[in-house]
Every structure is written in structure tokens, then in C-alpha cells.
Amino acid sequence: MKYKLGDFVRFVDEKMEGFITRIIDEVMIGVTGEDDFEIQVLASKVTMVHGYEPTGTKTTITEEAQIQQGEFKNKGIYIGVIADAKANSVVHFNLINDTSYQLLASLTTEKQIFRGEYAGIVAPKSVVKVYSAQLADLQLWPKFIFNILFYTTQNVELPPSLTVKEKFKAKDFSGSKKLLPVLNEQGWLIQLDEPDFVIDAQQLKESFYKPAEEKVALEKTARETDLHIEKLRDDHQFLNSAEILKIQLDYFNKALDSAIVHQLHDVVFIHGAGNGVLRHEIQKTLSKHPKVQTFMDALKEKFGYGATRVVLK
């Protein structure tokens, strides 16, 4: 397969183009256009459009001679995970070298078989993309094995080689994004060269991915509460439907309790139309709540059928 995730391609027989968002097998790929609709097509029926370079693919510095003046920095090797700027369903894994060493680095994946994904020299204060993956396939991602050797011409004792193995899970991306060093973009950050680093899922969760904070502070007297998940969490694209529903319902219950405590006459919950699951769960709770006098669809001229007005006792 000559193509990879994030490549920009044009259909041979149709006036269509888009980004590769899925590698189905050796002959079939998935291409997503501007309408965010993925089309399955034979790889032989598309051609590469050159000139587009996904976010995070450029190495910022290529020569050790460009090491900035000052104190020698011997710590700062990270994996930075960012969403593609054009194909949001694809994420890129970037090896970030924020040290003064040159790195001889490799990435191998393991999933029944071992497969070499990347090998090369990473200059000081530079970034290189080493892997791309489809977010929807996160549960199917392989185990990642990073091997790193250090080199410098300066009078510095070299650290031992570094090997890190990890199988990523959805909860590893549950924390808020942060500004990635060197790359200077928002993403998820994993430091590989921590002192006495022993990598496991729990340490990743505790050390690097603190539970995400709610984006919108719940106002004590808010009369309208928006429950759309993008209003509540920055990392919503990594959550499955069950997790999203739980977060929305928890937020709804907090807002309802707040309205009751502050003796509001009525409140509006904006849940959207969607598939109706959130609306059903909200109204099921309201129908049994002792402090709810009645509830109804909110003003249709303003909210359509995507909001519920609650009158409190």
C-alpha cells in the first residue's frame, strides 16, 4: 500500500478529492471529502495530490549544529498526539526531541506480528511524525515499542538507551489537551524519558492525563443549560456514546439541583434533537422528581425540538 492515513488524494474517474481516513486492506481505502462523508474506494482509483503536508510532519531543525546556545538539556523526549488539521478523524503521533541530543529512534508496532513503522535520526529541538491512526479504531491499535539511542559531540556522558512499550487506550486520552513543546500545537503529551520511568496504563493516567475539567463552569442561577458534549468537554472526540451520555446526564443533574437550591421558577435544558436518547433520559428523570411541577418542550421558535423547559415547585 503506497498510501497512508492523512494523504490527500483525487479520484481518477470522478471530480472528487479528499483525505485518506482509513486503510481497509491492501487494495481498499476510505476517503473523506469536505462533506465529512467517508467513501470506500479501490486504491488504484485515486491518485496522490502533492502539496498538502499533514500537521506535525515537518522536522523543525535538521542539523546538530543548530543546537541553541546555553545549558545542555538532557531531558525532554515526548510523544505528542494531535488531530490532523484537515482529516479530524485521523491522529498523528509525533516524536518530539526537546533535548540537546541527536536521537537514533525507531518505532515498531506489535499486533500478532511485529512491524517497523519508523527509523531515523531526530535532531535536537525537532519533531518528526512516526505514526498515524484512525480514531474510530483506537481499540484496535497495536502495541507501540519505542527504541531510542542518544548521541552528541559535546563532552557529556550519554544516558543508556531507552525502550518504552505501551498499548494505548481511550482513557489515556481523557485529559485536557496542552501546548506541545517544540511543535507548539495543542495535543496530548507523553514523556518517554522520565527518571526511573516504568510505563503502564495507571502511571500514564496519573502522570500525564489528569481527568478533564468541564469546559463550562455551571452558573448558580443559569436559566439555560447547554448539554451538547462539545460544550462540556474538550476531549469529546475520544469518548464513546455511553461515556458522552453519562457526562451529559451528570451535568444535567448538577444543573437541576442548583436550580432547585436557588429556588428558580423554571429552567431550560438544551439537549438537541439527535437520536432522542438524551431527551428521553432527561424527561424520565423529571417525571419522577419530587421538586418538578411539570416540563414541556421549550420555545420552538428559539430551540426547535432540541430543548426541554422545566417548571419547579
Q: What is the pLDDT of residues 138-151, one digit of tens each?
A: 778 899 999 999 99
Identify the band that residue 86 occupies on the pLDDT scale cut at 50, 70 and 90: confident
Distances (CA, A) of 286 to 31, 296, 300: 43, 10, 20
Residue 214 located in a structural domain: no
- CATH number (domain holding residue 144): 2.60.40.1600
Across the range 247-253, mean pLDDT stands at 89
As a whole number, the mean pLDDT across the chain is: 79
Cα 188 from chain centroid (whole Å) = 7
Contact 147, 108 (CB under 8 A): yes
**Where does a domain end: 159, 175, 207?**
207
Judge whether residue 296 has pLDDT over 70: yes
Name the most confidently modeled range: 53-57, 236-240, 268-272: 268-272
User: Domain check: are 197 and 117 in the same one?
Assistant: yes
Q: Supply the pLDDT for residue 139.
A: 78
Contact partners, residue 299, CB within 8 Å, separation at least 6: 307, 309
Across the range 168-186, mean pLDDT stands at 78
Identify the band that residue 198 occupies on the pLDDT scale cut at 50, 70 and 90: very low
Residue 216 located in a structural domain: no
- Domain enclosing residue 37, as ranges: 8-48
User: Domain check: are 14 and 93 in the same one?
Assistant: no
Residue 284 located in a structural domain: yes
Contact 248, 204 (CB under 8 A): no
Q: Supply the pLDDT for residue 172.
A: 65
- Which DSSP symbol is given to 138? G
User: What is the identity of the amino acid at 1?
Assistant: M
User: Domain check: are 245 and 298 in the same one?
Assistant: yes
- How far is residue 294's CA from residue 272's CA, in Å, rounded to a whole number? 20
Which cell is 113 given? 506480528
Across the range 96-107, mean pLDDT stands at 94
Cα 223 from chain centroid (whole Å) = 32
Contact 33, 14 (CB under 8 A): no
Residue 245 located in a structural domain: yes
User: Domain check: are 111 and 146 in the same one?
Assistant: yes
- How many of the other CB atoms lie within 10 Å of CB of 133? 21
Residue 212 located in a structural domain: no
User: Domain check: are 114 and 197 in the same one?
Assistant: yes
User: What is the identity of the amino acid at 175?
Assistant: G
CA torsion sign for 83, 172, 275, 258 is: negative
Q: Supply the pLDDT for residue 173.
A: 67
Which cell is 116 given? 517497523
What are the backbone dihedrals phi and psi of residue 106, each rounded to the nearest 5 degrees, phi first?
-145, 150
In the chain, % of residues over pLDDT 70 = 81
Let me know if 121 is exposed, middle or buried by CB neighbors in 10 A (0-12, 13-18, 19+): middle
> How are beta strands 102-111 and 113-122 bridged, if at all?
antiparallel
Residue 228 located in a structural domain: yes
- How many of the other CB atoms lie within 10 Å of CB of 9? 21
Identify the band that residue 98 occupies on the pLDDT scale cut at 50, 70 and 90: very high
Residue 55 located in a structural domain: no
Identify the band that residue 221 occupies on the pLDDT scale cut at 50, 70 and 90: low
- How far is residue 250's CA from residue 248's CA, in Å, rounded to a whole number? 6
Stated pTM of the model: 0.51
Q: Supply the pLDDT for residue 50.
A: 67
Q: Which residue has the cell 492515513?
A: 5
User: Domain check: are 175 and 230 in the same one?
Assistant: no
User: Domain check: are 73 and 203 in the same one?
Assistant: yes
User: Domain check: are 133 and 197 in the same one?
Assistant: yes
- CATH number (domain holding residue 258): 3.30.1370.110
Which cell is 197 given? 520511568
Q: What is the pLDDT of residues 223-238, one digit of tens each?
A: 888 888 888 887 777 7
Residue 217 located in a structural domain: no
User: Domain check: are 119 and 238 in the same one?
Assistant: no
Judge whether residue 183 has pLDDT over 50: yes
Q: Supply the pLDDT for residue 68.
A: 46
What residues are paired with 164 via a beta bridge? 146
| Tally of structural domains, the chain | 3
Identify the band that residue 105 occupies on the pLDDT scale cut at 50, 70 and 90: very high
User: Domain check: are 68 and 185 in the same one?
Assistant: yes
Across the range 244-266, mean pLDDT stands at 87
Helices within the chain (DSSP H only)? 201-207, 229-232, 241-261, 277-288, 300-303
User: Domain check: are 201 and 245 in the same one?
Assistant: no
- How far is residue 96's CA from residue 112's CA, in Å, rounded to a whole number? 28
Cα 152 from chain centroid (whole Å) = 34
- How many of the other CB atoms lie within 10 Å of CB of 117? 15
User: Domain check: are 31 and 159 in the same one?
Assistant: no
Contact 118, 131 (CB under 8 A): yes
